[in-house]
Every structure is written in C-alpha cells, then in structure tokens.
C-alpha cells in the first residue's frame, strides 16, 4: 500500500486501468466499502474491490461496455489529519459502448 492517500488512490486506479482486481484489493483498505449506483450498490470488506470489479465487468458485458479507463486531475482537496484523509479529484472515465467510444467527465 502507498505511504500517502493520494498515492493509494493512484495505485488503485492504476490497478483498475490494468484490469488487475488483485492489485486493486491490495491498494484498498481491508475494512473499506464501496458505494455505487450499480446493484448491489454496496461492497464491503477485504474483497470489496475485487467483488465490485467483477460486478462492473458483468454489468458492462450485459450493456456492451468494455475498455474502462479512469484518469484523474490535480486534487481539489488532499488533506490528512492523523489517520484520516480527505481526497477529492476530478475524474474522467472512458470506455467503449457497443463499439462507440464514450468519455464521461465531471466526476
């Protein structure tokens, strides 16, 4: 795991972009959680990242989406106090939807 919160976020995104759920899990805290608009909406614990990624790929297959990639810009917030951190980054996600390139910005 990274020594900084921003480094941990980048390690997680690098693993996501590489399609490596094992590395995603290593960058993710063991008691963490993921909340997403996609069902089942909440993933918990040490397998949360890998379970979420599996479900992303399954949902994508159903919808015809492939080739997910996320990039981030400079932090809007990157604050650490003791063991707590608050990191906010502008994000862009690209993927193909039934062969059409899609770019989502503003996240």
Write out the chain's pLDDT in tens, 107 residues. Answer: 578 999 999 999 999 999 999 999 999 888 989 999 999 999 999 999 999 999 999 999 999 999 999 999 999 999 999 989 999 999 999 999 999 999 999 88
Fold of 5-104: Nuclear Transport Factor 2; Chain: A, (3.10.450)
Is the pTM higher than 0.75? The answer reads yes
d(C-alpha 69, C-alpha 26), whole Å: 19
d(C-alpha 102, C-alpha 96), whole Å: 6
Is residue 26 within 8 Å of 49, Cβ to Cβ? no
Count Cβ atoms below 10 Å from residue 53 Cβ, excluding itself: 21
Which of helix, strand or coil describes residue 50? Answer: helix
Is residue 16 within 8 Å of 28, Cβ to Cβ? no
Domain boundaries, the chain: 5-104
């Amino acid at each position: 795991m990274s020594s900084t919160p921003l480094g941990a976020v980048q390690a997680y995104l690098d693993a996501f972009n590489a399609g490596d759920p094992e590395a995603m899990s290593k960058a993710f805290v063991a008691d963490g959680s993921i909340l997403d608009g996609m069902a089942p909406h909440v993933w918990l614990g040490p397998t949360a990242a890998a379970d979420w990624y599996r479900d992303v790929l399954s949902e994508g297959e159903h919808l015809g989406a492939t080739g997910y990639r996320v990039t981030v810009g400079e932090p809007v917030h990157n604050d650490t106090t003791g063991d707590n951190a608050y990191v906010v980054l502008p994000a862009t996600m690209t993927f193909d939807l039934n062969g059409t390139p899609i770019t989502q910005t503003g996240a």
